């Protein structure tokens, strides 16, 4: 009996490994290449070795000291990325939380329709909307302003965030609102003193989602911003490839640096992410 | 403290579903009124309308002489205890209780004094720093009551506050709520589907059914003189025995009027009953108003089940075509399949017209 049990657990383990190992390689190999390039000297970068002969941190030094033509505005562009990502997260949180509160708790008439319409925008791929968005921003005179990218990203992130937050707030017992109303809370006080504190895990999840979405965005950033000092680092990275002789090792070093903050943020908020983004996914 | 009045209060959901068909009654200052009825009878809706959580479709609700139909909950000066407690999970017990005063921008010293006083009344002094998740069900219920007391409102509203507690705790909390009311004397409206809660706690009971009031009265009024079959069967535990039969009046209105049931049993009725010869009636008699008679006298019954509970014994009996329950004090030697004889307290019998369900006499 115990032999069979252990046989069964071995096969379970084997099946998990069978799925796990390819998945792990699939994820890690590109990252490993990124890392490999970043610590190789220019000459050995494309040698095809699995570990460079003489690993070096020289590339990072070049990036941080902006010792290359493509890296002239490295710090400004990194700051742009931070500024835009944080602004998008903050604005999206404001829009999505207000909307979710109005739809789910205040039961505003037509709220569900608005949410469904917002979600409906996801039927059209974001890339198709890029040109209309460009034209719209042009009409508002926002082209080449970072507001254009911030507003565009908020537009793209909001429907999903509203939906996630609405599902999460539907789970809060409605008696809490009624108790607060009887206790004398106005809708704004209810929002601030009861709703927000209870929604923190979901807010962290949604905020992180919006932040990472904006941080990683390339297409819209590329379209809406053109000035070297106003583009994000993601766009700047793309510009590395505009020459025949691209400095791959610097591109990868910069890319690695650019990938670290999201990884750190994700790691810090991991416990909120998994719970928060799946909250309300299943009707309980 | 305040009076509460309902004047022809109606509630319709959408345009079709009518849940309250014009309810009118008054609550005196300091009175403990229990709204009781089966689920879906409209009692919770009525309470929520009084609380300002539901719109009033028609009629008026009056608190202390003032029509409150258009007033927000917070302006009605009421406090409510919910079935699910509805404590704010992110606040401590103390913060939960202080919340309403904080919203009213009350002075901090005043607030903490009121919270301390309420906590003392409810034995929560030691728990003020805890969060609701760290409390037992009974403690949470007490915090919910504390939150209501701190406000010192005109009216307390309770919406099935004991339904989430286990049976033993429910009995204890029942006594606690009643003691609290005797101490504070705040006008209280209490909703429950449990008639025992209603009987034990209320000054007056309002029995509701299908959106109308069936009867209003003191617990013993309702027990002794139910005005219709519904109230008769709803109030009392074990429930009243109800037997279908026909009124037999040998010499119109004479003292030997009986209800003759299918199977031939003849049940004695109270004097001055009224009614007419041959009228189809439901005959009601409470399990405690039937006694065992010496052999050969009274109504013969066959024992089906004997259930001793110590102080009392419950007997399930077959009389003619009907099965009835009899509760006798003490014990009995009766065994299943024995035949025993029953004496009825005719004064305590109830007779209802079968067609209308209304009480005769």
Q: What's the pLDDT tens digit per position in B13-51?
A: 988 889 999 999 999 999 999 999 999 899 999 999 999
Gap from B212 CA to chain A (nearest CA, Å): 26
| Three-class DSSP category at B192 | strand
Hey, what domains does chain B have and what are their CATH numbers? 4-234 (3.40.50.300), 241-360 (2.40.50.140)
| Contact in structure between A161 and A211 (CB atoms under 8 Å) | no
Average pLDDT, chain A: 87
Residue B8: what pLDDT? 94
Give, in order, the Cα–Cα distances in Å from B40 to each of A145, B19, B209.
60, 8, 8
* Confidence label for B297 from pLDDT (cuts 50, 70 and 90): confident
What is the distance, to the nearest Å, from the Cα of residue B250 to the centroid of all Cα atoms in its chain? 39
* Confidence label for A284 from pLDDT (cuts 50, 70 and 90): very low
| Contact in structure between A97 and A164 (CB atoms under 8 Å) | no
Q: Answer whether CATH 1.10.3720.10 is correct for domain A73-278.
A: yes
Name the residue with tokens 């254009």: A148
| Three-class DSSP category at B341 | strand
* Chain A residues close to B82, C-beta within 8 Å: 175, 178-179
Tallying the residues shown for chain B, one arrives at 361
Query: For residues B296-334, b (16+ Cβ closer than 10 Å) or e, as one string?
Result: eebbbbebeebeeeeeebebbbebbebebbbbbeeebeb
Gap between the Cα atoms of B265 and A15, Å rounded: 76
| Contact in structure between A88 and A211 (CB atoms under 8 Å) | yes
Does the distance separating the beta carbons of A194 and B88 come in below 8 Å?
Answer: yes
Q: Which of A181, A197, A198 sits opposite B74 (nearest CB)?
A: A181
Residue B234 has pLDDT above 90, yes or no: yes
Residue A280 has pLDDT above 50, yes or no: no
Least confident interval from A27-31, A248-252, B186-190, B305-309: A248-252
Q: What is the pTM of this model?
A: 0.82
| Contact in structure between A103 and A117 (CB atoms under 8 Å) | no
Q: What's the pLDDT tens digit per position in A248-279?
A: 888 888 999 999 998 898 888 887 776 665 55
Would you state the structure tokens that stand for residue A246, as one six-digit string?
Answer: 């691209």
Gap between the Cα atoms of A256 and A184, Å rounded: 53
Section A17-23 average pLDDT:
92
Specify which residues B318 forms β-bridges with. B302, B323
ipTM entry: 0.84
Does the distance separating the beta carbons of B73 and A179 come in below 8 Å?
Answer: no
Would you kindly state where each structural domain of chain A is located, as residue ranges?
A: 2-64, 73-278
Q: H or E stretch including A179?
A: helix A174-183
Residue B251 has pLDDT above 80, yes or no: no
Chain B residues within 8 angstroms (CB to CB) of chain A = 51-53, 72-74, 78-80, 82-84, 86-90, 99-100, 103-104, 147, 151
- What string of DSSP letters covers B215-240? EEE-HHHHHH--SBHHHHHHSSSSPP
Does the distance separating the beta carbons of B73 and A181 come in below 8 Å?
Answer: yes
Gap from B97 CA to chain A (nearest CA, Å): 10
In this complex, is the C-beta atom of A180 within 8 Å of any C-beta atom belonging to chain B? yes
Section B96-108 average pLDDT:
93
- What string of DSSP letters covers A101-121? IIIIIS--TTHHHHHHHHHHG
Largest CA distance in chain B: 78
Give, in order, the Cα–Cα distances in Å from B28 to each of B140, B155, B322, B335.
29, 11, 43, 51
Residue A5: what pLDDT? 64
| Contact in structure between B190 and B181 (CB atoms under 8 Å) | no
Gap from B82 CA to chain A (nearest CA, Å): 7
Residue B306: what pLDDT? 94
Q: What's the pLDDT tens digit per position in B65-100?
A: 999 999 999 899 999 999 888 999 999 999 999 999
Residue A282: what pLDDT? 44
Q: What's the pLDDT tens digit per position in A38-70?
A: 888 877 767 777 787 778 888 888 888 888 878
């Amino acid at each position: 009996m115990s032999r069979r049990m252990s046989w069964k657990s071995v096969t379970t383990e084997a099946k998990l490994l069978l799925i796990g190992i390819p998945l792990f390689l699939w994820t890690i190999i590109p990252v490993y290449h990124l890392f490999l390039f970043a610590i190789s000297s220019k000459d050995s970068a494309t040698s095809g070795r699995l570990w460079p002969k003489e690993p070096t941190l020289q590339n990072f030094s070049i990036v941080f000291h902006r010792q290359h033509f493509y890296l002239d505005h490295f710090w400004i562009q990194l700051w742009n990325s931070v500024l835009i990502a944080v602004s998008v997260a903050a604005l999206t949180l404001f829009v999505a939380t207000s909307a979710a509160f109005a739809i789910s708790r205040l039961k505003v008439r037509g709220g569900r329709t608005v949410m469904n319409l917002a979600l409906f925008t996801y039927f059209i791929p974001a890339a198709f909307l890029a040109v209309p968005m460009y034209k719209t921003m042009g009409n508002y005179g926002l082209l080449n302003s970072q507001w254009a990218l911030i507003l565009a990203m908020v537009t793209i992130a909001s429907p999903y965030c509203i939906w996630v937050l609405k599902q999460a707030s539907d789970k809060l017992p409605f008696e809490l609102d009624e108790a607060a109303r009887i206790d004398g809370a106005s809708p704004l006080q209810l929002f601030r003193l009861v709703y927000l504190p209870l929604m923190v895990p979901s807010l962290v999840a949604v905020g992180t989602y919006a932040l990472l979405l904006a941080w990683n965005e390339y297409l819209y950033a590329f379209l809406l911003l053109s000035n070297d000092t106003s583009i994000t680092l993601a766009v700047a990275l793309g510009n590395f490839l505009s020459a025949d002789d691209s400095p791959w090792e610097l591109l990868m070093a910069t890319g690695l640096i650019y990938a670290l903050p999201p990884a750190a943020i994700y790691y810090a908020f991991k416990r909120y992410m998994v719970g928060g983004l799946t909250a309300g996914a299943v009707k309980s | 403290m305040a009076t509460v009045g309902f004047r022809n209060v109606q509630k319709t959901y959408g345009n079709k579903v009518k849940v309250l068909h014009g309810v009118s009654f008054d609550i005196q200052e300091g009175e403990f009124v229990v709204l009781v009825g089966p689920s879906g009878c409209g009692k919770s809706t009525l309470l929520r309308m009084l609380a300002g959580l539901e719109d009033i479709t028609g009629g008026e609700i009056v608190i202390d002489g003032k029509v409150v139909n258009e007033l927000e909950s917070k302006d009605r000066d009421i406090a409510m205890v919910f079935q699910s407690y509805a404590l704010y999970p992110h606040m401590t017990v103390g913060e939960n209780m202080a919340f309403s005063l904080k919203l009213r921008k009350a002075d901090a010293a005043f607030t903490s004094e009121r919270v301390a006083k309420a906590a003392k009344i409810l034995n929560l002094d030691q728990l003020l720093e805890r969060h609701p998740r760290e409390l037992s069900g009974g403690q949470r219920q007490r915090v919910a009551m504390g939150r209501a007391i701190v406000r010192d409102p005109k009216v307390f509203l309770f919406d099935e506050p004991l339904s989430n507690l286990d049976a033993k705790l429910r009995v204890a909390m029942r006594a606690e709520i009643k003691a609290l009311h005797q101490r504070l004397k705040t006008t209280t409206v209490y909703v429950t589907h449990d008639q025992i809660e209603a009987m034990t706690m209320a000054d007056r009971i309002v029995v509701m059914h299908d959106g109308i009031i069936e009867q209003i009265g003191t617990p013993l009024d309702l027990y002794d003189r139910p005005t219709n079959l519904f109230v008769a069967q709803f109030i009392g535990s074990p429930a009243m025995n109800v037997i279908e039969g026909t009124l037999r009046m040998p010499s119109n209105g004479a003292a030997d009027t009986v209800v003759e049931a299918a199977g031939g049993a003849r049940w004695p009725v109270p004097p001055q009953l009224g009614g007419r010869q041959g009228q189809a009636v439901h005959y009601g008699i409470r399990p405690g108003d039937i006694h065992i008679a010496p052999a050969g006298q009274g109504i013969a019954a066959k024992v089906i089940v004997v259930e001793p509970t110590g102080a009392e014994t419950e007997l399930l009996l077959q009389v003619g075509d009907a099965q009835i329950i009899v509760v006798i004090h003490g014990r009995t030697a009766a065994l299943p399949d024995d035949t025993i004889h029953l004496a009825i307290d005719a004064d305590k019998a109830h007779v209802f017209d079968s067609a209308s369900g209304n009480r005769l006499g």
